[in-house]
């Protein structure tokens, strides 16, 4: 345990130095302005929230290589000592291997799924009966705010980055990501955000309690806990921007010979599209939160109407990120589902090119719909109708994807194992979420139900029945590749059915109580909603418990599951053509891609060949010629 | 379903759609309809159900049909499906049909929206214009001079005549709120710095809740009030009675306290935030009055109501309690309330 070598002890020291520096900066700045230099607690805290995480990252060694390079010291470019994991301890170090980072991301994200899920259980426990039982209104507002923030910024968005981090370089035949050190830094910025969100409960005045949307001016006047969100989001956002750039460069420059864009698996297409969204949209949430921070800390008045600020500007800037963010949370899942359906139905993806183009269409349209969150915000009336049309039209490319998946299933040979069950569950639940999404685009109906439980139901059908089901499907699907072990199929099916049924019983009735008039984000509600809320709370505990089945299955199977063969699903994409888990630099020989990724049912077709193997070119490129039905 | 799988699925799909639509139209989705605007929204929702149930049934039918008919059977472990890559006709069809359906829905919604927001015809009874102010955590309604008889009238409860269009001009003192009566259907945010509007025409007598739909902080869930839809003569009578004091001049202390109790539990909304055992109030947003008001003088009690920031109970922040009770409550109401609080806590 040396404090000079990079690692967790030095990281702890770095964080302390960060706090000390924050204190010093505040005292010096106050003295220079002629104010009483003795501590103002809030000022120190705000600076420390920025300083301490950087101290932690530097101590951990995330910047060592770049510092060495900047200082002109020897950088050891050929030393791959930080590549690959030999024991579980290596997962707590800065590691540049995309497979290790992928697992770090995924496990870290699932930890936060459990934390966020636990907050959800507390929220539902409080709502089981009218009146206040377990928590006071301030704690309640904090619970649902942290619940949503954690699950969005520390689970759904990063877990997709984690899964893609693991499989994407393998899928395109690359030895690693384009920028391995940036990749490691991207991961290590995430725990900063998570720790901040959780520590906010210790702040005077309680956790941030303004919802995950943190609307100004409430967030400007809120107690200091709000700053934990304002700054934490910056770390989560910086992490996803860096990852997205890494994906874009990797996909554009590091594909194996022969892998044209239209021979890429749809997961790669999906992450390509998502990365475009992230790079363009994420700076907007950074901007919105920086404006809140400047209003709070330095007395700016972006959002202070009394001083000429514009309250609605917050929502425009915020939703210009946060609507595309819904697609950031959907598109990678679309990719996962395409992989699984083709393999498990033993058929090529129907309409491959349309599937790729519809992803790009969603990327473009995703930026044209932000103000549909603002139909009752008091914005200019004329914006509403164009937003209604673009919002409704985005259902068309989404519909194309759903119908293409259905056509992929048709006449296949369906292997109904756990990944496939979650994929089919996703298809049905996401369709419901899409339909309620169209109903919300229709302004008069939206006016009645916005800010009610109908919205809560819709967003959970999209992000739970949509994103989370694709995440479960993907984790089960690639579990053998990542761990070299098979999971317990029986437990997996139990997990699916308890989640599927519990989920529908929880969120289905919310549509009804929403239309009937129950507002969202309320700690207490009127007596007329009591029966349904008790029912919903009971059902939600079933979902909560079902997650424990999943955790048990993953942990036990990882330790003692049956050994997985290289290609248990007989898939064609490249990641399945190497051992499980793959060798440290992925491929012993560079693969050459000779056909489409989903040529199931084509005799003798292969997607890629390795040097020495015989090249067969009978496979038609995917989507080249409609074979008819 | 061996021989004609598609035919069986079409029949199953049509039957399931019919059942789904029937069920969707039968379920009592909405609260009691108390405005013409909500009536139009309900019709729009019926159309949404009629269009979307078949779409969902189509997806479900294909998923279930494929699972039943094409699931892997023993002996098929190594078989593949036919290598079908696409079908241009089908793909055009499933792009064009949803696009047409969606544009149709948008067009219809636009018509509903225009009707909901249209000003009443010149022949209709004169529209009432009410100013709504949201603040943490209470609503204040102000009736204009011409309606209230020469002097603007501010209340904490809303009373509306049936059958007359009402236009609300909404703004906020502090943070975002959202003015919503579920039974009226329409809602809009109260935004600091701008005034927002909507109009409704109440069409059913009764008493309905006013809620705040936009998260506004600690007391968001208790930021409630009441709207009474009454007949035109009752409305006139209510307006006439508004400027009279709650307790007559020279009332006995007992009468005064009884009037104060009514103010506490009723219109002013004190019981939503405070606990006071005498009034049966159990609110937890503000301090427990049983404890904090003990031994206070009349003047201190008066100050607690009209200037709550002057003395804040330990453990509570400033600006949580509305600061305009001095304006919304008349002097005699205030006296009654002070008399009651004194009696109830000492």
Give a three-class secondary structure readout of chain B. CCCCHHHHHHHHHHHHHHHHHHHHHHCCCCCCCCEHHHHHHHHHHHHHHHHHHHHHHHHHHHHHHHHHHHECCCCCCCCCCCCCCCCHHHHHHHHHHHHHHHHHHHHHHHHHHHHHHCCCCCCCCCCEEEEEEEECCEEEEEECHHHHCCCCEEECCEEEECCCCEEEEEEECCCCEEEECCCCCCEEEECCCCCEEEEECECCCEEEEEEECCCCCCCHHHCCEEEEEECHHHHHHHHHHCCCCCCCCCCCHHHHHHHHHHHHHCCCCHHHHCEEHHHCEECCCCCEHHHHCCCCCHHHHHHHHHCCCCCCCCCCCCCCCCCCHHHHCCHHHHHHHHHHHHHHHC
Task: Say whether residue A224 is in contact with chain B using an 8 A CB cutoff.
Answer: no
**Nearest chain A Cα distance for residue B247, angstroms:** 31
> What pLDDT score was predicted for residue A614?
46
Looking at residue A622, its pLDDT comes to: 45
Answer whether A444 touches B (CB < 8 Å). Answer: yes
| Cβ separation B193–A601 shorter than 8 A | no
User: In the structure, what pLDDT confidence band is assigned to residue A621 with cuts at 50, 70 and 90?
Assistant: very low
CB contact under 8 A, A444 and B40: yes
Q: Does B207 touch chain A (CB under 8 A)?
A: no
How near does any CA of chain A get to the CA of B41, in Å?
6
Contact B279, B344 (CB under 8 A): yes
Altogether, the residues listed in chain B come to a count of 346
The tens-digit pLDDT sequence of chain B (346 residues) is 455 778 888 999 999 999 999 999 999 999 999 999 999 999 999 999 999 999 999 999 999 999 999 999 998 888 888 988 888 999 999 999 999 999 999 999 999 999 999 999 888 889 999 999 998 888 989 999 888 877 888 888 899 999 999 999 999 989 999 999 999 999 999 999 999 999 999 999 999 999 999 999 988 988 888 999 999 999 999 888 776 666 666 677 788 888 888 788 766 778 777 888 888 777 777 888 888 888 788 888 888 888 888 888 877 777 677 777 877 777 778 888 888 888 888 7
Least confident of A268-272, A408-412, B296-300: B296-300
Please, what is the average pLDDT of chain A?
Answer: 92
Q: Is A545 in CB contact (< 8 Å) with chain B?
A: no
pLDDT at residue A40 tops 80: no
CA–CA distance, A449 with A440 (Å, rounded to integer)? 8
From residue A3, how far is each of A10, A54, A73 by CA, in Å?
Answer: 5, 17, 20
Interface test with A, best of B32, B42, B69, B84 (most A CBs within 10 A): B84
What confidence tier does A615 reach under pLDDT thresholds 50, 70, 90?
Answer: very low
Put simply, whether B105 touches A (Cβ < 8 Å) is yes
| A313 in contact with chain B, both atoms CB, cutoff 8 A | no
A42: exposed, middle or buried (Cβ count in 10 Å: 0-12, 13-18, 19+):
middle
Structure tokens given for A189 = 């910025």
The pLDDT, as a whole number, for residue B66 is 93
> Helix A266-298 vs helix A331-345: angle between axes, to the nearest 10 degrees?
160
Q: Using a CB-CB distance cutoff of 8 angstroms, which residues of chain A are in contact with residue B216?
A: 218
Query: Residue A163, CB half-sphere, CA atoms under 13 Å: how many?
Result: 30
Q: Which residue has the higher pLDDT, B95 or A620?
A: B95
Instruction: Give the torsion through C-alpha atoms of A144, A146, A147, A151, to 10 deg.
Output: 150
**Would you call B191 an interface residue with chain A, using a CB distance cutoff of 8 Å?**
yes
pLDDT tens per residue across span A210-239: 999 999 899 998 999 999 999 999 999 999
Burial of A560 (0-12, 13-18, 19+ CB in 10 A): exposed
Is B27 in contact with A512 (Cβ distance < 8 A)? Answer: yes
Tell me which residue in B85, B178, B185 faces A448 most closely, judged by beta carbons. B185
CA of A68, closest CA in chain B: separation in Å?
Answer: 49
Contact assignment for B81 to A601 by CB distance below 8 Å? yes
B112 with A132: Cβ contact below 8 A = no
pLDDT greater than 70 at residue A617: no
Per-range mean pLDDT, top range of A130-134, A373-377, B281-285: A373-377
Given a contact cutoff of 8 angstroms between Cβ atoms, the answer to whether B81 and A427 are in contact is: no
Residue B220 to chain A, least CA–CA distance (Å) = 7
| Residue B274, pLDDT score | 85
- Using the Cβ of A568 and the Cβ atoms of chain B, whether some distance falls under 8 Å is answered with no
The CA-based angle B132-B134-B140, given to 5 degrees, is 50
Q: Looking at residue B302, what is its pLDDT?
A: 85
A345 touches chain B (CB under 8 A): yes
Instruction: Flag the least confident range among A87-101, A105-119, B248-262.
Output: B248-262
Mutate to test the interface with A, among B62, B85, B91, B207 (most CBs of A within 10 A): B85
Across the interface, do A444 and B218 touch by the CB < 8 Å criterion?
Answer: no
Contact status of A524 with chain B (Cβ, < 8 Å)? yes
Give the position of tokens 């549509």: A511
Q: A379 CB near a chain B CB, below 8 Å? A: no
Residue A616 has pLDDT above 50, yes or no: no
More confident residue, B253 or A330: A330
Alpha helices in A299-349 (DSSP H): 311-328, 331-345
With cut-offs at 50, 70 and 90, classify the pLDDT of residue A50: very high
Q: Do B63 and A409 touch (CB under 8 A)?
A: yes
Q: Which of B70, B68, B66, B55 has its CA nearest to residue B13?
A: B55
Interatomic CA distance for residues B72 and B79, integer angstroms = 9
- pLDDT computed for residue B136 by the predictor: 87
Question: Which of B59, B80, B217 comes nearest A601 by C-beta?
Answer: B80
pLDDT digits (tens, 9 = 90+) for A578-601: 998 998 888 888 899 999 999 998
Contact A27, A40 (CB under 8 A): no
Interface contact flag, A512 B220, Cβ < 8 Å: no
User: Residue B108 — left, alpha, or beta (φ > 0 → left; ψ -120 to 50 → alpha)?
Assistant: alpha
Tell whether A496 is within 8 A of chain B (Cβ).
Answer: no
What tokens does A181 get?
């050190």
CB contact under 8 A, B215 and A622: no
Residues of B in contact with A439 (CB under 8 A): 45, 48, 52
State how far residue A488 is from chain B, nearest Cα, in angstroms.
19
By the CB < 8 Å criterion, does B317 face chain A?
yes
Q: Among A194, A247, A201, A255, which Cα is nearest to A224's?
A: A201
Smallest Cβ distance to B113: which of A444, A512, A602? A444
Q: How far apart are CA A52 and CA A66, in angstroms?
A: 19
Report CB contact under 8 Å: B52, A439.
yes
Q: How confident is the model at residue A74 (pLDDT cuts 50, 70, 90)?
A: confident
Work out the average pLDDT over A141-151.
96
Task: Give the pLDDT score at B249.
Answer: 66
Using a CB-CB distance cutoff of 8 angstroms, which residues of chain A are in contact with residue B71? Answer: 414, 416
Asked if pLDDT for residue A77 goes beyond 70, the answer is no
Q: Which residue of A has its CA nearest to B49?
A: A439
Which chain A residue's Cα is nearest to B184? A448
Q: Which of B33, B82, B112, B199 to mutate to test the interface with A (most CBs of A within 10 A)?
A: B82
Closest chain B residue to A135, measured at CA: B284
In whole angstroms, give the CA distance from residue B195 to residue A378.
8
ipTM confidence: 0.89
pLDDT at B311: 82
């Amino acid at each position: 345990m040396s404090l000079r070598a990079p690692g967790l002890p030095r990281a702890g020291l770095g964080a302390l130095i960060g706090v000390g520096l924050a204190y010093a900066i505040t005292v010096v700045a106050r003295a220079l302005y002629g104010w009483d230099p003795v501590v103002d607690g809030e000022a120190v805290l705000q600076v420390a929230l920025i300083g301490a995480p950087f101290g932690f990252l530097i101590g951990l060694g995330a910047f060592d290589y770049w510092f060495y390079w900047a200082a002109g010291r020897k950088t050891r470019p050929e030393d791959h000592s930080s590549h690959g994991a030999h024991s579980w301890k290596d997962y707590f170090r800065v590691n540049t291997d995309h497979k290790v980072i992928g697992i770090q991301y995924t496990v870290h994200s699932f930890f936060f799924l459990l934390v966020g899920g636990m907050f959800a259980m507390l929220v539902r426990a409080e709502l089981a009966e009218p009146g206040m039982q377990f928590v006071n209104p301030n704690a309640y507002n904090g619970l649902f705010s942290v619940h949503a923030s954690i699950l969005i910024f520390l689970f759904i968005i990063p877990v997709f980055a984690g899964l893609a981090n693991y499989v994407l370089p393998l899928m395109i035949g690359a030895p690693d990501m384009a920028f391995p050190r940036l990749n490691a830094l991207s991961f290590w910025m995430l725990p900063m955000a998570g720790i901040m969100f959780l520590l906010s409960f210790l702040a005077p005045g309680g956790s941030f309690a303004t919802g995950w949307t943190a609307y100004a001016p409430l967030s400007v006047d809120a107690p200091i806990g709000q700053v934990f969100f304002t700054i934490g989001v910056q770390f989560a956002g910086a992490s996803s921007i860096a990852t997205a750039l890494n994906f874009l460069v990797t996909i554009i420059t590091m594909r194996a010979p022969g892998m044209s864009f239209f021979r890429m698996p749809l997961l790669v297409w999906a992450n390509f599209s998502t990365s475009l969204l992230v790079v363009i949209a994420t700076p907007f949430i950074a901007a919105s939160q920086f404006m809140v921070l400047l209003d709070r800390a330095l007395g700016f008045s972006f959002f202070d109407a009394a001083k000429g600020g514009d309250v609605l500007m917050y929502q425009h800037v915020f939703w210009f990120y946060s609507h595309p963010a819904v697609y950031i949370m959907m598109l990678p899942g679309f990719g996962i589902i395409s992989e699984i359906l083709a393999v498990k139905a033993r058929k090529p993806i129907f309409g491959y090119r349309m599937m790729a183009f519809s992803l790009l269409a969603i990327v473009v349209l995703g930026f044209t719909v932000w103000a549909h969150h603002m139909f009752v915000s008091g914005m200019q009336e004329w914006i509403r109708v164009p937003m209604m049309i673009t919002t409704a039209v985005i259902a068309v490319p989404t519909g194309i994807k759903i119908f293409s998946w259905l056509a992929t299933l048709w006449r296949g040979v369906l292997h109904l194992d756990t990944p496939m069950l979650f994929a089919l569950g996703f298809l049905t639940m996401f369709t419901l979420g899409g339909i309620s999404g169209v109903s919300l685009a229709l302004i008069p109906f939206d006016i009645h139900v916005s800010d009610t439980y109908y919205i809560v139901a819709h967003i959970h059908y999209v992000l739970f029945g949509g994103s989370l089901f694709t995440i479960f499907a993907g984790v089960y699907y690639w579990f053998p590749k990542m761990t070299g072990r098979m999971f317990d199929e029986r437990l997996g099916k139990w997990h699916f059915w308890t989640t599927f049924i519990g989920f529908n019983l929880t969120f289905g009735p919310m549509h009804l109580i929403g239309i009937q008039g129950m507002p969202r984000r309320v700690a207490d509600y009127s007596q007329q909603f009591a029966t349904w809320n008790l029912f919903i709370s009971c059902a939600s505990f079933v979902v909560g418990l079902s997650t424990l089945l999943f955790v048990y299955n993953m942990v036990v199977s990882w330790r003692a599951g049956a050994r997985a063969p290289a290609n248990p699903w007989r898939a064609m994409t490249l990641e399945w053509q190497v051992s499980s888990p793959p060798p440290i630099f992925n491929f012993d020989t560079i693969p050459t891609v000779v056909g489409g990724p989903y040529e199931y049912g084509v005799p003798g077709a292969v997607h890629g060949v390795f040097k020495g193997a015989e090249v067969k070119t009978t496979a038609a490129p995917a989507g080249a010629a409609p074979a008819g039905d | 379903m061996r021989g004609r799988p598609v035919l069986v699925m079409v029949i199953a799909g049509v039957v399931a759609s019919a059942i789904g639509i029937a069920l969707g139209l039968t379920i009592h989705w909405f609260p009691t309809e108390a405005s013409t605007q909500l009536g139009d929204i309900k019709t729009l929702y019926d159309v949404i159900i009629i269009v979307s149930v078949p779409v969902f049934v189509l997806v479900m039918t294909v998923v279930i049909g494929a699972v039943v008919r094409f699931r892997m059977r023993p002996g098929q472990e190594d078989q593949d499906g036919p290598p079908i890559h696409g079908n241009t006709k089908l793909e055009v069809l499933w792009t064009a049909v949803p696009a047409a359906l969606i544009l149709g829905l948008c067009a219809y919604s636009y018509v509903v929206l225009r009707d909901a927001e249209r000003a009443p015809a010149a022949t209709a009874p004169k529209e009432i214009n009410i100013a709504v102010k949201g603040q943490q955590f209470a609503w204040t309604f102000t009736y204009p001079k011409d309606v209230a008889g020469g002097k603007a009238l501010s209340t904490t409860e809303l009373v509306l005549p049936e059958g007359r269009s009402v236009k609300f001009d909404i703004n906020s003192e502090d943070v975002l709120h959202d003015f919503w009566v579920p039974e009226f259907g329409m809602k809009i945010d109260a935004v600091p710095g701008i005034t927002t509007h909507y109009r409704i025409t109440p069409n059913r007598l009764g008493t309905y809740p006013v809620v705040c739909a936009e998260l506004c902080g600690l007391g968001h869930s208790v930021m409630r009030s009441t709207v009474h839809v009454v007949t035109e003569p009752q409305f006139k009578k209510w307006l006439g009675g508004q400027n009279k004091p709650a307790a007559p001049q020279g009332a006995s202390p007992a009468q005064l306290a009884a009037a104060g109790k009514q103010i506490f539990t009723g219109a002013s909304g004190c019981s939503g935030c405070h606990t006071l055992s005498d009034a049966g109030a159990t609110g937890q947003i503000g301090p427990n009055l049983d404890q904090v008001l003990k031994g206070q003088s009349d003047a201190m009690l008066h100050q607690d109501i009209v200037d709550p920031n002057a003395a804040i109970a330990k453990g509570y922040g400033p600006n949580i309690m509305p600061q305009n009770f001095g304006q919304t409550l008349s002097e005699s109401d205030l006296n009654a309330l002070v008399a009651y609080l004194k009696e109830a806590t000492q």
